[in-house]
Amino acid sequence: MENQNSFLGTDDLPDVQPTSDEKTLAILSHILTLVAWLIAPLVIYLIKKDESPFVAAHAKESLNFQITVALVCIVLAITLIGILLIWLVGVFALILVIVATIKANDGRLYRYPFTLRLIK
């Protein structure tokens, strides 16, 4: 059953229940963005994209979200008022990364809200 709470994203059950290792890699694809921004989900995606649809979906979603956040911050940095609002984007992104990490731990597929799906 899909969760319809669009402000915090949506989640759904995967077709196949993920293993413990798949959950761990999915968790890492979200939480490691706090220290390794795009590198962590990109590496996880490239390594696991053909082996685990669950891990690939989480890593791809994490990549798309981080790219979207970067683009929003660039646009905000162009304007004076936007510079004052960038911290709000960071707080919102942190909250969503935590939500995504929890969903991955629960073995659910998660989709960030307001995200450009650039990597298909």
DSSP state of 7: G
Which residue range is the domain that position 53 belongs to?
18-110
* Residue 71, pLDDT above cutoff 60: yes
Q: For residue 22, give the amino acid letter.
A: E
What is the model's pLDDT at position 4?
54
Question: Is 4 a member of any domain?
Answer: no
What is the model's pLDDT at position 1?
44
Per the prediction, the chain carries an average pLDDT of 92
Question: Is 118 a member of any domain?
Answer: no
How many other C-beta atoms lie within 10 A of the C-beta of residue 41? 27
Question: Is 77 a member of any domain?
Answer: yes
Q: Using CA atoms, how far apart are residues 65 and 59, in angstroms rounded to an integer?
A: 10
Both tokens of residue 17?
Answer: 């229940």
Q: How many domains does the chain have?
A: 1
Question: Is 115 a member of any domain?
Answer: no
Q: Express each pLDDT in 10-51 by its tens digit.
A: 888 898 999 999 999 999 999 999 999 899 999 999 999 999
The full length of the chain comes to 120
Q: Using CA atoms, how far apart are residues 108 and 90, in angstroms rounded to an integer?
A: 24
Q: Environment class of residue 5 by beta-carbon count within 10 Å: exposed (0-12), middle (13-18) or buried (19+)?
A: exposed
Question: Is 52 a member of any domain?
Answer: yes
Q: For residue 56, give the amino acid letter.
A: A
